[in-house]
Amino acid sequence: MHHRNWLLLLLLWQLGGQSFSHSPSSLLLELPQILITLIFAGGTVKIGEISYKLKTPRNPELVPVKYISDSLPQTVAQHLRWMMQKDLLGQDVFLIGPPGPFRRSLAMQYLELTKREVEYVALSRDTTETDLKQRREIRSGTAFYIDQCAVRAATQGRVLVLEGLEKAERNVLPVLNNLLENREMQLEDGRFLMSAERYDKLLQEHTKEELDTWKIVRVSEDFRVIALGLPVPKYKGNPLDPPLRSRFQARDIYYLPFKDQLEMLYTAGPNIAAERVSQLLSLATTLCSQESSNLGLPDFPVDNLLPALHVLNAFPMLSSQQLLQRLYPYSSILGKEGRSAVEGVLSRFELLDGHRQPAPGAILTVSRTEDLEGHADVTLRVADKDITFQVPAGAKELRLPNSSPTFISTPSHSQLMAEMMQSHMAKDICLIGTKGCGKSVIAREFAEILGYSIEPVMLYQCLFHFREFWDREAIVLG
Ligand SMILES: Nc1ncnc2c1ncn2[C@@H]1O[C@H](COP(=O)(O)OP(=O)(O)OP(=O)(O)O)[C@@H](O)[C@H]1O
Ligand SMILES: [Mg+2]
């Protein structure tokens, strides 16, 4: 689509209202207006004054899609422009910011924009060198080395997205260091990855065949790394090792400015009173502030406000307090002091309405959506009103609620099930509760109503990392 010769997006925003304080006189300076435009034309993408020549990806299925939205806040355009600058200079980048999907989304937006193939890996405490380099697999009695993400990215000229850099343990740091600094890596199967520059120099004195027999492999000049991480010590993790840190160009990625977020939320919730939207956002922002953190309160998941507003938009009569409880289950996870601190903030923004507003009642009906595959129409009764909405559904036959011979439904179960249906409209669900309170049974009942097959996975602290599990599972099945 980038080949079309037209102006796809012309976005003009202005960076107003931001001011710098200037000591000693505390002079307030208005920042000059920066207008960033995003233009696709003739195989080139331009962000502001910087342009990037697109290459046709060899594996278009590895290029991220659907991350770029049609309204691009100015802050996002600035981040993208910075990433483009670094990319053009051949530098790897490190996006640092609070928990949430925003940094990853920026990375994916950038790759979508520049049509780059991605290799993604979520680092964990259990990630080993092998996970990044090569894994040995046995197929019909023979052992193979299978290239892993970093090797594939380096040799195929893809962009390696390393999520959770703060989780990387000491053992993987040398591998990363060498790859980042020298574009070099020694592989288990005897091959040696070498930077394009050094390889091409060798090629002046030796033939390609010779280099092949020496098992030297060229690292593509298009290979880049985008690392994503949390600032440590504010959050838990390993402080970044200074040598590794110096390999990256780092940029702080904080939540979008209030004004941009508000704009986005208004668009998502046209049925919700504007005042209520801004109260919700103010609460979220307050719960992410330094003062809240000093009180020991966890960050509010700001990025989840958007999906929550989809729910609220379909059910504007819902209590804000109960909705917030689903995003930020403070009464289950905080002690008495924490709870009253959060309630203080709720009342400050007039969101303490749990007793005044109705909670969703039971699910009335569930049926297959006629013209949309993989979806179901669900009708809930809330405060004498019946509301029908669509949720994704599984491939199996749907089943009416309260028709299971083994699941016993109390009024509070019915309400929970109705709330889960609402949440399912927008996001994944986590049920929290004391041991043996019925979480697994409820999850199964929910899955059966919507025709999903379930795949229980027991998570233990530090067992193995999910991706590896996923691969193993695929091997067992496949
Ligand atoms: N609504 C219900 N209807 C029928 N049986 C129930 C219900 N709720 C709980 N049970 C019974 O209680 C037992 C514990 O439930 P379940 O295994 O779902 O709890 P859990 O919260 O998943 O526990 P754990 O924390 O150990 O994972 C189950 O054996 C189940 O049969
Ligand atoms: Mg369980």
Tell me the C-alpha distance between 108 and 106, whole Å: 5
Nearest-CA residue for ligand 1 atom 11 is 438
Q: Which residue CA neighbors atom 28 of ligand 1 most closely?
A: 438
Joined tokens for residue 200: 């091409």
| 409 CA: nearest ligand 1 atom | 1
Neighbours of 402 (CB within 10 A): 15
The whole-number average pLDDT for the span 75-90 is 95
**What does the pLDDT look like over 126-168, one tens digit per residue?**
899 999 999 998 888 888 899 999 999 999 999 999 999 999 8
Q: Among 406, 441, 454, 459, say which to mutate for ligand 1: greatest number of ligand atoms within 8 Å of CB.
A: 441
Residue 332 has pLDDT above 80, yes or no: yes
Which superfamily, per CATH, for 59-252?
Answer: P-loop containing nucleotide triphosphate hydrolases (3.40.50.300)
User: Which pLDDT score is estimated for 20?
Assistant: 31
Percent of the chain scored above 70 by pLDDT? Answer: 88
Where exactly does CATH 3.40.50.300 map onto the chain? 59-252
CA distances from 478 to 61, 177, 472, 473 (A): 21, 35, 10, 8
Mean pLDDT of the region 267-278: 94
Quote the pLDDT of residue 244: 83
Cα dist. 415→198, 307, 410, 412, 470 in Å?
A: 65, 20, 9, 5, 33
Atom index in ligand 1 nearest the CA of residue 444 equals: 18
Helix (H, G, I), strand (E, B) or coil at 138: strand
Residues with CB under 5 A from ligand 2 (ion): 440
44 lines ligand 1 (CB under 6 A): no
What is the predicted pLDDT for the residue at 71? Answer: 76
> Ligand 1 within 6 A of 431 CB?
no
Q: Is the pLDDT of residue 32 over 90?
A: no
Decide whether any atom of ligand 1 lies within 6 Å of the 436 Cβ: yes
Q: Which tokens go with 449?
A: 């109503």
Q: Is the pTM of this model over 0.85?
A: no
Instruction: Place 43 in a pLDDT band, splitting at 50, 70 and 90.
Output: confident
Q: Would the CB of 146 count as within 6 Å of ligand 1? A: no
Mean pLDDT, rounded, for 7-21 = 29
Rounded Cα distance, 452 and 394, in Å: 4
Please tell me the distance from the alpha carbon of residue 397 to that of residue 399, in angstroms, as a whole number.
Answer: 7
Q: Are strands 185-186 and 192-194 parallel, antiparallel or unpaired?
A: antiparallel
- Are 381 and 362 in contact, with CB atoms under 8 Å apart? yes
Instruction: Give the atom of ligand 1 at the shortest distance from the alpha carbon of 407.
Output: 3
How many other β-carbons are positioned within 10 Å of the β-carbon of residue 331?
Answer: 12
**CB of 444 sitting under 6 A from ligand 1:** no
pLDDT of residue 413: 92
What is the distance in angstroms between the CA of the first residue and the CA of the last residue of the chain?
Answer: 35
| Atom 15 of ligand 1, residue of closest alpha carbon | 438
